[in-house]
Amino acid sequence: MQNSTRLQSQKNKVLVVGGGLGGIRTALDLAEAEKDVILVDRAHTIGGLMTQLDRTFPTNNCDLCTLSPHLSEGSRQQHIELMTMTEVVAVKGSKGNFTVSLQTAPRYINLEKCTACGECLQAFPECVQFNAGLDHRAPTCMRYPQATPQAFSIDLASCTDVQALVAVCPAGAINPDDITTTREVGCAAIVLSPGAELFDPSHLDYLGYSSFPDVVTSLEYERILSASGPTAGRLLRPSTGQQPKKVAWIQCIGSRGLQKGAGAYCSHACCMFALKEAMVTKERFQEDIETTIFYMDMRTFGKDYELYLNRAKNDCGVRFLRSRPHSIVQPEGADGLSITYTVDDSTTQITEEFDMVVLATGFKTSAASRRLAAETGIEMNADFFPVTDIFNPVVTSVPGIYVAGTFEAPKDIPETMVQGSAAACMAGADLPAARKIPDDEEAVLPRERDVSGEEPRVGVFICDCGDNIGGVIDVASLVEDAARLPHVVVAKAEGHGCSRLSMDNIRQTIVDEGLNRVVIGGCSPRTHQGKFQELLARAGINKYLLEIANIRDQSTWVHSGKPAEALSKTRDLLHMAVAAVVKAQPLSDQSLPINKNILVVGGGVSGMTAALQLADQGFQLYLLEKSPQLGGMARKLVKTIEGGDIRDFVGKLIERVEKHPKIQVFTRALVVDHSGMPGMFKTGMQSGPQMFYRQLEHGITILATGAMANRPATYLLDQSPAVRTQIETQQFLTDQPETVRQWDNVVMIQCVGSRVPENPNCSRICCQAAIKNALAILEINPEARIFILYRDMRTFGFHEEYYQRAREKGVIFSRYSLDRPPVATTAGDQVEVSFYDPILSRELTVVADALCLSTGMVSDADSSEELAMIFKLPRTADGFFLEDHVKLRPVDLPVPGFFVAGTAHSPKLIKESISQANAVASRAQTMLARDAINLGAATARVEGKLCAACLICVRACPFGVPFINADGYSEIDPAKCHGCGMCVAECPAKAIQLMQFEDDRILAKVEQLFERIPV
């Protein structure tokens, strides 16, 4: 955390309101790009809604493990001033020059002094604040063990003996005289990301939420499943404390305008949320539990979400009932809850009993957020969400004020992350040019202790990671065992090792015990190595004197069914890590100047938007487009569903790109080769009619290569003049309204070529495209009869309101199933479409003047395959580029320095592509703010006197780095070495060692593993 004195310079910072996931992303992006941020949150700790979830889709991962490093990162950043328990009370001024009054409620605890020891909580539980409602376990204001800031908060009103409470704090941190303070801050831009709250179903008495304890909301169910929840992760019925046998979910509570007080919109994330809960439940209890989801349309439209739905259906045995039960009742004397429903194609009512019912409640803007909106003066829509720019959803009606996350519109985590970065990009652009702050890392970090002459003194710290490790094996016995190993000076159990508290404990132990080697027994070094390396640096020892034993991912998670084996394997893994860390040597990182030019591949809306944002920040851009002209798929589109003029928008975008002095455009350009590393790439390309070759040097690569309109040869497409895709339909409506006026019947078929075995995913955009065209047809020809044949209408978010409008205007929606698809036959210039209507239970035939096919999008397989090969990037099974982390890093590709935007990532709408492009521009700036790139220390070193100059390493190196120097032995430039270690394995004289993976370190692990084997 940062004292306010350093940030006194006014008008060159961004105020971020709301410290949930989106706000944290915005703040981190800005801070990493060397821009100052004030992050305020009404709660005592940052983290927002995500910290209350147990797992997230589609990986069913634990949330806190992925999120908490981000949170503590948030407080670590030097450019971020964090103000919790703080609200915006007044906003004055305009873009570039806002003055904001912030009011901070008294915490009665000095954050600088509080160590979160918990003494006050034990002595005076009633005065220490906790989150009411969901968190009905031990009263603590720390919602979860990794909370930031790591401190308590006091509710003075409940306290009867203030003096005794003050006296109980060993750190002297309790200050009963704390008062509400108001402070004025200046800022150039404001980002609002206060999140949304969930619909409260208490007033809907027919759902029984207020009367039956076993009716819970989806978030409460999540808390019940969570290891840090009220039942410590055991699934128990609130009424009886017994494990339920049958659980049901009811979708769309508070969404789609169904109940009193419900929003007219679709809440976007609840289908996936319910699927996840049902799957996690099935995974945990298998045959012992039955899960049923009552739904209207399953809306799994995100990237690979359809596969998740299929997994729930086919592999996990979740039962799906398309039905909207009216009420939940508890029959007299009965223990369970009964639901009466009808199913597809039937009028018979069925009554079934369940032990628990989960209400999938939707998002709603909170009263506090509405006040915030009123204070900032941004315009809100009828659903109390901000009115935003049609093409740029983070831009509000007030210049300089941006929005992100679920406050903007209901959405899931990856889209929140995208908007968080996009808002950072927009707000950052409003700041005066970044002033360069000298790297003050030296000032923050203590001087590194020279440990070269010391005997190894190893500290072993073992996490219990909640139940993840501690729930399977006995951590105390591991600690005892580790303490007996040679060189181990201290062994400790460390709860959540990655939490602020444990990190501080470990740091202190390193200092107090004079440790010079550290072993962490916890999770994967892939995700947490950086964090612990930094911890070592802060403790004054070289960060490479570390080994992480991955005892969670490789042992307790996979061997949870066999605790004895898990314990023995965990012990082995720890022994191996201790043996290896003894051999570890201090190393220093290599760094190189970064090339700040940027290569953008793809000249569609996404590529152009990202290029313009970065070019406006003064960077040099190379924009490559495969076709002869810029514009991509958007050239074929006319209007968005909201009425935004795409042709005009794209025309202006192209003009700005072509005129920009910092953007060099290459059309008819193909990438042919690529080499280098992040910050210093070289990409060869051929461009122009002559296909001239040229090599571009750049530090960052942005892929915005788009997708293709799908065109499956079905339903008479390309055979009958009456059959068109939705894109062609929109063009036709614009070009030939006269013909449209003559149409009597129009049929639209959804999911053509999507959600089928050949292309299992949903194309996301087609439901709204069909509604958009249907409404446009009715605009031209109100007499036209329109039939939309669909499988699930996936008009997520505010699109739902257009869907309802189409229904009101008489568009007929008829559902078909994949085993009984519609049939189209030619009838002169018309098409005869036959389909089975499940409500009428009969086959219908319509002679249509136009048949519009919702064909969706597929990946541009040829070019994405080639680019994936050249750039060494992974793709999904259906050919879209695969991001680094589907939840938290949706635009970062796994290879550092590479980013993806637009439909190259997955099918999406124009405004979503633009958000991603802005997000990419923000992520790129976090890299470009630095002048040098850290290459790490895993490089190969040659021991000259052992080298026989045999040239084997020269031939083995895939990057051509080793050469024979003037002294006659092999030399490897550490700045060029990629650290694969191939030369090491090939060298017959064993003259080369790869740092961090030295042979003696690997062999130490091998030998240690077999130490205990009885022979």
Partner 1 sequence: MEKFEPVIVAFCCHYCAYTAADMAGSQRLPYPANVKIIRVPCSGKVDALHIIKAFEKGADGVYVAGCLEGDCHFKNGNERAARRIAYVKNYLEEIGIESERLEMVMISAGMGQRFAQTATEITEKIRALGPSPIRTATAL
Please report, as ranges, the residues that interact with partner 1 according to CB under 8 A: 59-62, 283, 524-527, 550, 552-555, 557-562, 565-566, 568-569, 572-573, 576, 869, 872, 874, 882, 894, 938, 956, 958-959, 978-982, 984-986, 994, 997, 999, 1002-1003, 1005-1007, 1009-1010, 1013, 1015
Q: Which is nearer to partner 1, 557 or 732 (CB)?
A: 557
CB of 144 to partner 1, least distance (A): 19
The residue behind tokens 């079905």 is 714
CB of 469 to partner 1, least distance (A): 11
CB of 228 to partner 1, least distance (A): 18
Sign of the alpha-carbon dihedral angle for 515, 517, 522, 525: positive
Q: Which is nearer to partner 1, 741 or 955 (CB)?
A: 955
Q: Which is nearer to partner 1, 106 or 233 (CB)?
A: 233
Q: Which is nearer to partner 1, 525 or 540 (CB)?
A: 525
CB of 938 to partner 1, least distance (A): 6
Please enumerate in sequence order all residues whose Cβ is within 8 A of that of 564, keeping only pairs 6 or more positions apart, or say none.
none
Distance CA 540, CA 530 (A): 16
Tokens representing residue 344 in the block: 């597809």
DSSP, res 432: P
Which residues, in sequence order, are bridge partners of residue 518? 459, 546
CB of 1006 to partner 1, least distance (A): 5
CB of 304 to partner 1, least distance (A): 11
Please enumerate in sequence order all residues whose Cβ is within 8 A of that of 120, keeping only pairs 6 or more positions apart, or say none.
127, 128, 152, 154, 165, 168, 169, 174
- Burial 925-942, CB ≥16 within 10 A → b, else e: bbbbbbeebebebbbbbb
CA distance readout (Å), 39 to 81, 538, 718, 926: 6, 25, 56, 18
Contact predicate 789/770, CB 8 Å? no
Contact predicate 676/935, CB 8 Å? no
CA distance readout (Å), 23 to 46, 216, 562: 9, 28, 42
CB of 320 to partner 1, least distance (A): 22
CB of 681 to partner 1, least distance (A): 15
Q: Which is nearer to partner 1, 223 or 559 (CB)?
A: 559
For residue 149, cis peptide bond before it (omega within 30 degrees of 0): yes
CB of 563 to partner 1, least distance (A): 10
Q: Which is nearer to partner 1, 238 or 979 (CB)?
A: 979
CB of 62 to partner 1, least distance (A): 8
CB of 969 to partner 1, least distance (A): 20
CA distance readout (Å), 502 to 93, 496, 534, 782, 909: 44, 7, 14, 67, 44
Q: Which is nearer to partner 1, 224 or 977 (CB)?
A: 977
CB of 578 to partner 1, least distance (A): 14
Q: Which is nearer to partner 1, 97 or 286 (CB)?
A: 286
Q: Which is nearer to partner 1, 233 or 644 (CB)?
A: 233
Distance CA 960, CA 977 (A): 9
Q: Which is nearer to partner 1, 15 or 460 (CB)?
A: 460
CB of 547 to partner 1, least distance (A): 10
Q: Which is nearer to partner 1, 311 or 507 (CB)?
A: 311
Tokens representing residue 923 in the block: 């992520």
480: three-class secondary structure by DSSP = helix
Secondary-structure breakdown of the chain: helix, strand, coil percentages, each rounded to the nearest 5 = 30, 25, 45
Q: Which is nearer to partner 1, 340 or 568 (CB)?
A: 568
Please enumerate in sequence order all residues whose Cβ is within 8 A of that of 1013, keeping only pairs 6 or more positions apart, or say none.
none
CB of 589 to partner 1, least distance (A): 16
The residue behind tokens 């296909």 is 691
β-pairing verdict for 55-56 and 61-62 = antiparallel
The residue behind tokens 């029984």 is 208
- Mapping DSSP onto H, E and C, the string for 237-265 reads CCCCCCCCCEEEEEEEECCCCCCCCCCCC
Distance CA 597, CA 680 (A): 9
Half-sphere exposure of 8 (CA within 13 A, CB side): 2
Q: Which is nearer to partner 1, 121 or 518 (CB)?
A: 518
Name the nearest CA neighbour of 569 among 584, 586, 549.
Answer: 549
Q: Which is nearer to partner 1, 228 or 267 (CB)?
A: 228
